[in-house]
């Protein structure tokens, strides 16, 4: 099948690479000339494990192409995927300008029947909006259909999530149209659900909002555990063994970040507001998430004698999660900004995301490894739970620090072990280990 994928971000690039690997001819389109030039050189504009190798193989086999020419790509295709960004506006609504631009571009190139697939995360009603735009701007009297096919990718495991999704959601105006997408996804042999377009659009928002709710609930329980002397790790383990609850997305920490949960929760709350429903639960979820790093920073300041002024703080982990270089809504940004504003010097290390962070905070000292970040530090803060941080030589870390103080925002260490090694150790929702 001939496919056109509009947008070469996480969703578009992974979608294009995977579908080409399944034997389709795929043209990925982006208006960013520099990004297309990178891709044509075999360089990836994002970090995603396995993506570069997947792209290279399919480019060499002439199944995957990159271009700025939207018109030609749409003309050549049977199915067109809209995979552009929908970043949040100040009021919480998603910015729909890129989706609308894509719809206008498709309209200008529509030369025969095609299925237009919204894969971007969009509010309910966007399918109708895209249809209206294409109808109004199309140059030829040809038919088309608009389908919703939301993605459920996790950065860091996006290829696996595309090849082995829990479910494939297809929102289509009829069974006949849905069959076109069913044919495309059939090689994956995964569970599929066919709905109307509006329901498919809502499934994506509802799913992400519910996962955000689980995270904020776990963090609320952690805050209570700190006050009563309980261990949130054990509490969550006991909860997660209940099949009705499950262990996923219940890890206490600094809260959720990234490109999906924050903006999708805000967008769903705004949708509810527009139809006259006060979504109090989701508002509370977002408020808990907003407060979590503030609580963490307040505790850190207290442990550092009430001030960051003149202190050296090592920060381990910058990306919003492991196995990605994505800095969107990363908790490290808020933590570093507060440390700098308080007069601290920051030494930071991340395996992948240093260059992206350097563009935001050029004044931070970026280290080549975790040991350099800890050297001479008055405190070491764990922000992202990269596996390599779990296996550090903690005796070497302690020997190099000015003050053996660790604030673990991801609960990756054993408090009892660090206490034995002589650290003052603070984490989230577990008893602290102060120096005696």
Q: pTM higher than 0.85 for the full model?
A: yes
DSSP-assigned letter for residue 188: G
The per-residue pLDDT for 435 is: 62
The per-residue pLDDT for 97 is: 96
Alpha helices in 231-383 (DSSP H): 232-240, 261-274, 280-303, 331-341, 354-358, 370-374
Looking up tokens 């620090």, which residue turns up?
401
Pairing of strands 424-426, 405-408: parallel
The per-residue pLDDT for 436 is: 57
Q: What is the CATH number of domain 198-436?
A: 3.40.50.720
The per-residue pLDDT for 12 is: 95
Angle 329-332-336 from CA coordinates, rounded to 5°: 125
Q: Do domains 2-195 and 198-436 have the same CATH topology?
A: yes
Backbone angles phi, psi at 82, to 5 degrees: -95, 110
Pairing of strands 379-382, 405-408: parallel
C-beta of residue 314 within 8 angstroms of C-beta of residue 379: yes
Alpha helices in 304-346 (DSSP H): 331-341
Cβ neighbours around 340 below 10 Å, total = 16
- CA 381 to chain centroid, in Å, comes to 22
Q: Which residues are catalytic?
A: 260
Q: Where would I find the beta strands (DSSP E) of 56-187?
A: 64-67, 79-82, 114-118, 144-148, 168-171
Q: How far is the C-alpha of 297 from the C-alpha of 229, rounded, in Å?
A: 20
Q: What is the CATH number of domain 2-195?
A: 3.40.50.720
Compute the Cα dihedral for 395, 398, 404, 409 and give only its sign. negative
Q: How far is the C-alpha of 424 from the C-alpha of 384, rounded, in Å?
A: 20
* pLDDT digits (tens), the chain, 436 positions: 999 999 999 999 999 999 999 999 999 999 999 999 999 999 999 899 999 999 999 999 999 999 999 999 999 999 999 999 999 999 989 999 999 999 999 999 999 999 999 999 999 999 999 999 999 999 999 999 999 999 998 888 999 999 999 999 999 999 999 999 999 999 999 999 999 999 999 999 999 999 999 999 999 999 999 999 999 999 999 999 999 999 999 999 999 998 889 999 999 999 999 999 999 999 999 999 999 999 999 999 999 999 999 999 999 999 999 999 999 999 999 999 999 999 999 999 999 999 999 999 999 999 999 999 999 999 999 999 999 999 999 999 999 999 999 999 999 999 999 999 999 999 999 987 666 5
C-beta of residue 428 within 8 angstroms of C-beta of residue 296: yes
């Amino acid at each position: 099948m001939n496919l056109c994928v509009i947008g070469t971000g996480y969703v578009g690039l992974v979608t294009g690479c995977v579908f080409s690997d399944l034997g389709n001819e795929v043209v990925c389109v982006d208006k960013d000339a520099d990004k297309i030039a990178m891709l044509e050189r075999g360089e990836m504009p994002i970090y995603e494990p396995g993506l570069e190798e997947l792209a290279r193989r399919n480019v060499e086999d002439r199944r995957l192409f990159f271009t700025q020419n939207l018109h030609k790509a749409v003309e050549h295709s049977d199915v067109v995927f809209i995979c552009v960004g929908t970043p949040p506006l100040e009021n919480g609504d998603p910015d729909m300008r890129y989706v609308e631009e894509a719809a206008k571009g498709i309209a200008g190139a529509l030369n025969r029947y095609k299925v237009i697939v919204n894969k971007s995360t969009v509010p309910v009603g966007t399918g109708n909006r895209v249809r209206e735009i294409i109808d109004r701007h199309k140059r030829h009297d040809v038919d088309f259909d608009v389908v919703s096919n939301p993605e459920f990718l996790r950065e860091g495991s996006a290829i696996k999530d595309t090849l082995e999704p829990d479910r494939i959601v297809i929102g289509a105006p009829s069974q006949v149209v849905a069959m076109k997408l069913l044919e495309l996804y059939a090689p994956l042999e995964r569970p599929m659900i066919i709905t109307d377009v509006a329901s498919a659009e809502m499934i994506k928002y509802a799913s992400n909002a519910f996962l955000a709710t689980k995270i904020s609930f776990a963090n609320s329980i952690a805050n209570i555990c700190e006050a009563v002397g309980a261990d949130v790790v054990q509490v969550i383990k006991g909860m997660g063994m209940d099949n009705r609850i499950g262990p996923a997305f219940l890890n206490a920490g600094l809260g959720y970040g990234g490109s999906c949960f924050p903006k999708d929760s805000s967008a769903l709350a705004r949708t509810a507001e527009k139809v006259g429903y006060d979504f109090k639960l989701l508002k509370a979820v977002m408020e808990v998430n907003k407060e979590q790093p503030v609580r963490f920073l307040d505790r850190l300041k207290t442990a550092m004698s009430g001030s960051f002024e003149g202190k050296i703080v090592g920060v381990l982990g910058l990306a919003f999660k492991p196995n990605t270089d994505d800095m969107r809504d990363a908790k490290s940004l808020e933590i570093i900004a507060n440390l700098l504003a308080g007069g601290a010097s920051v030494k930071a290390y991340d395996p992948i995301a240093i260059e992206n962070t350097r563009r935001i905070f050029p004044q931070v000292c970026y280290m080549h490894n975790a040991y350099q970040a800890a050297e001479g530090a008055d405190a070491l803060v764990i922000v992202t739970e990269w596996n390599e941080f779990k296996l550090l030589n903690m005796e070497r870390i302690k020997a190099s620090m000015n003050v053996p103080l660790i604030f673990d925002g991801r609960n990756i260490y054993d408090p009892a072990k660090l206490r034995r090694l002589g650290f003052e150790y603070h984490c989230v929702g577990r008893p602290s280990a102060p120096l005696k």
